[in-house]
Every structure is written in C-alpha cells, then in structure tokens.
Amino acid sequence: MGRQPCCDKVGLKRGPWTIEEDHKLINFVLNNGIHCWRAVPKLAGLLRCGKSCRLRWINYLRPDLKRGALSESEEDQIIQLHARLGNRWSKIASYFPGRTDNEIKNHWNTRIKKRLKLLGLDPVTHKPIDHKIDEDKTKTTTTSDHEPDSSKEQEPTSDTQNETTTLINTDNDGTDLLLHNYEMLCGSLDVGNLWMNQLQEAININTSYINSPSFNSFEDSLNPSSMGEYSPNSIQVEDSLPQQWVDSTVDSNILSWDGFNQLEEDELFLFGQ
C-alpha cells in the first residue's frame, strides 16, 4: 500500500530551477512568508512540489546563506563534529551558520572523505584504517562515539559542549553563535540593511570581476538566450544569493530591492524558520 506521495507529481516540473522560478519563489516567500510548503507552489504559481520548493529555498535561495568554498578550518571542524555526531548533517550544519546540511554532506562525500583516506583514516570511524579490524574486535566492549545511538541523543553536555565549541569559535559558545546569527536575522537588525550590505558586497565583487578574464563567461550567463535552464556553477565567482540576484535581476522589476527596506520586523519571521 505505502504512503501517498507528498504531492500529485503529474504535470509537475523537475530538474534544475530556472531564474524565473527562483524569482517566483523568492517573491512569494518574501511577500507571504512560509506557512505551508505544500501550498507554496500553487500560490506562487510554480509547477513544483512543495518539497522541491522547500529544498530550493533552504539550500539555495535563503538570504542568510554563506556561499563559497569551505575553508580548511571549517573542514577540520566538520571532521571533528562528524566524529562526534556521525552522519547527522543537519546537526553538523547547525554549527555553521549560513551553511546547509546538503552543502556539508556534499563536501564530506566529495572532499573530506578523500582527505581522510589520504591521511590513512577511515572516514566512518575516524580511526587508522590499518587498525580497523582490531578496533572492530574490541568494539563490542566499548561505546562507539562515531555512530551514535539514535535512541539517545548526544546533545553536548556542558563539558562536551565546551569541547566542541572551542573548535568552532575559540572565544564563543556555538549556541551563542547560532543565537547571535538568529538575532541578526530576526531581531533588531533591519533586514533591509542586511540585504543592502550584501548587495553592496555583491556589487564590489562584480566590479572587480568585470575586469577579470572570466567575465565573458559571466556575461554569457546573463545572456537572455541562456535564461532557460541555468547552472549557478557557470557563474565563476563566489556568488552569494544577493549577488546572483544582482546578476539576474538588476534590470528586472520582479523583485524590488527597495521593498526589502520597507519590511517590517514582524514580517521577518520566516527567516527564523
């Protein structure tokens, strides 16, 4: 029998999102917030399922996303958190404001795994590969910390919390960091200014980028003839969302930047979801 699918998939679009679809989703979320993902595609005029919209928003369109490659220190932090938490990517991602679980998972699977193997470490156990068999033999007598028992949530205790967060931020608590970022997004900070700062940053990046050799390919990505299926990878700058918007909407009135400045605080609840 099985469950019904999350949505009626007949006639729904799949695959890469177009800029137009992104605009529709962004515009809808900013104007209406998120109450029910299932309803979003219909209300936003998208031929996508709610899950797909949610994923697109969380992994790509959220304004607070930090894009660009993960630094080596971030990698180290991920490794240590993975040793503690296992494949609980969302939990690991919660220690990296602006990073998504998908991003961290991908990074783990494509890079960190290899890096650990090169170091002679098992990516699963985080122990030397040569000793894996021996470790397995003794595993029954010791508690494994790399595959945590899902029945007992391994929330860091005050001690482990300190131990963990020191590697996140030497002079700050990870929770505080998250709360700080949350407050930044939802609290007293004017989101319009936040966005305008990012816009300014994006403009600065673009200004230098225009003079770079890869600007031609960047220009191509803006060519209306290529406005159908597009790949963000083709834009070879460390692009944040606002930057992409600048790239794609600078001459568009689909989304007015002025509108962000007018957002009331009570309209910002969606950023805290």
Partner DNA sequence: AAGATTATCAACCGCCCGAGA
Partner DNA sequence: CTCTCGGGCGGTTGATAATCT
How many whole angstroms separate alpha carbon 229 and alpha carbon 100? 23
Q: How far is the CB of 38 from DNA (least distance, A)?
A: 4
Determine phi and psi for 27, rounding to 5 degrees.
-60, -45
201 contacts 240 by C-beta, under 8 angstroms: yes
Residue 188: partners with Cβ closer than 8 Å, 6 or more residues away:
none
Residue 154: partners with Cβ closer than 8 Å, 6 or more residues away:
84, 85, 148
Check residue 4 for interaction with DNA (CB under 7 A): yes
Q: Find residue 18's DSSP bridge partners.
A: 229
Q: Which stretch binds DNA (CB under 7 A): 9-17, 130-138, 164-172, 193-201?
A: 9-17
Considering only residues 33, 47, 76, 90, which one is a binding residue for DNA as defined by CB under 7 A?
90
Q: Which stretch binds DNA (CB under 7 A): 4-12, 72-80, 177-185, 189-197?
A: 4-12
Give the helix/strand (H/E) hosting 75: helix 72-85
- Of 55 and 255, the one with the shorter C-beta distance to DNA is 55
Check residue 84 for interaction with DNA (CB under 7 A): no
Check residue 87 for interaction with DNA (CB under 7 A): yes
Considering only residues 229, 250, 256, 265, which one is a binding residue for DNA as defined by CB under 7 A?
229
Residue 85 to residues 75, 96, 189, 243, Cα–Cα distance (Å): 15, 14, 33, 34
Check residue 56 for interaction with DNA (CB under 7 A): yes
Considering only residues 31, 33, 45, 109, which one is a binding residue for DNA as defined by CB under 7 A?
109
What residues between 155 and 214 interact with DNA by CB under 7 A? Answer: none
Considering only residues 43, 47, 69, 119, which one is a binding residue for DNA as defined by CB under 7 A?
69
Check residue 234 for interaction with DNA (CB under 7 A): yes
